[in-house]
Amino acid sequence: MELKAGESILKYNSADQTVTMEGSMRLANLMEYDKVSVFLNDAATQASDRLTLDMTKLNFLNSSGITTLSMFILATKKKQNPKLNILGTALFAWQEKSLKNFNKLWNEVEISIQ
Amino acid sequence: MMQEIILGDYDLIPDTIPSEGELHLRVKPIDMVTYWRRCGAVANFIANFYRNPQDEIYHLNENLISTTFNELIENAAKYSTKRDSDIDISLKLYNTILKMEVENICSHKHMEAFQKSMEKIIDSDNDELDNFYLNKIEAKHAGDKDSGIGLLMLKKDYSLQLSAKITPIEGEVYRISVHAYYNMSIE
């Protein structure tokens, strides 16, 4: 399963239940991020107990994108399934600074920053 | 007519102090909204401009600078009056401090929303900002179409010093200038 979103690509690998996000995701508004929400929700539906979001190759994510991911986390929290892992990297300041917010939305979100 | 409004420490480094380096760009809101990727392209260009891998005096974080300018430019593009207005973008270097500025023209409605949000962001400490962020996300999840979290995240997550000036121009039109200061000597 694959989605092109602006200058980024999202791919879902069902074998390891991982969504990888690569490139730069700076879409104009929440409406443009709807397709990303749908993609993530589809991946969450397919994953059994745990879904990993690998952002280590996502150079940029704007605040609308962070809001979209945040709302996805809240929706998943409401269902309590799947649990979420987020992989990030300290190479990108936005990840080092902002990924921790996702754990504040739902304390079951495990965040690993390389 | 409304008086000029200053939010935060706007003249932390006044323009009268000569900078060691400057970069100024001017873009049109209609252009940025039509070709949205240009917001990021400008932000990336500015971040790359002062990049100097050999420099040991400070650590210039390109990703942080691009992220900051991208948020400011996206806001300016979204909330500007679209025709006959400009977005002015500046970066000034003062030793290890970068002064980042974006200025645009907007309507009364957007000015009011901006002022309300910015006042809260500037006056809040980190715990209050965390609660503000969580409340904003919950409200959006419940369908609130209100403005976003960009400026809030710049202060909360990046510890940038934010300030703004709102100047009435004519009728119900205002100039908004946002400053973000980044100290490169602090990791």
Q: Residue B58 has what pLDDT?
A: 59
pLDDT digits (tens, 9 = 90+) for B113-146: 999 999 999 999 989 999 999 998 888 877 776 6
How far does A15 lie from chain B, in Å, by closest CA?
30
Q: Residue A57 has what pLDDT?
A: 97
Q: What is the mean pLDDT of each run of 10 residues along chain B (187 residues)?
A: 90 94 96 96 92 63 94 96 89 93 96 94 93 88 74 94 94 94 78
- CA torsion through residues A76, A78, A81, A87, sign: positive
Q: Residue B125 has what pLDDT?
A: 92
Q: Which has the higher per-residue pLDDT, A30 or A76?
A: A76
Q: What average pLDDT does the segment A67-80 reach?
A: 95
Interface contact A63-B71, CB threshold 8 A: yes
Mean confidence (pLDDT) of chain A: 95
- Give chain B's contact residues with A (Cβ, < 8 Å): 33, 36-37, 39-40, 61, 63-64, 66-67, 70-71, 74, 78, 130, 133-134, 137-138, 140-141, 148-150, 153, 157-158
Q: Residue B54 has what pLDDT?
A: 61
Interface contact B148-A67, CB threshold 8 A: yes
How far does B120 lie from chain A, in Å, by closest CA?
18
Domain boundaries, chain B: 5-183
Interface contact A28-B70, CB threshold 8 A: no
Considering the segment(s) A2-113 as one domain, its CATH architecture is 2-Layer Sandwich (3.30)
> Strand ranges (DSSP E) for B37-109?
87-94, 97-107
Given the candidates 3.30.565.10, 3.40.920.10, 3.40.30.10, 3.40.50.620, the CATH classification of the domain at B5-183 is 3.30.565.10
Interface contact A93-B64, CB threshold 8 A: yes
- Cβ atoms of A76 and A37 within 8 Å: the answer is no
Interface contact B153-A63, CB threshold 8 A: yes
Range in A28-32, A38-42, A81-85 the model is least confident about: A28-32
Q: Residue B187 has what pLDDT?
A: 52
Tokens describing residue B93: 């270097």
pLDDT digits (tens, 9 = 90+) for B161-173: 999 999 999 888 9
Strand partners, A5: A8
Chain B residues close to A59, C-beta within 8 Å: 63
Cβ within 8 Å of residue A5, ≥6 positions away: A25, A27, A33, A35, A36
Domain boundaries, chain A: 2-113
pLDDT digits (tens, 9 = 90+) for A38-55: 999 999 999 989 999 999
ipTM of the complex: 0.94
Q: How many CB pairs below 8 Å do chains A and B form together?
A: 76
Cα Rg, chain A, nearest whole Å: 13
Interface contact A67-B140, CB threshold 8 A: yes
| Helix extents (H) in chain A | 34-46, 63-79, 93-98, 100-105
Alpha carbon distance, N-terminus to C-terminus of chain A: 26
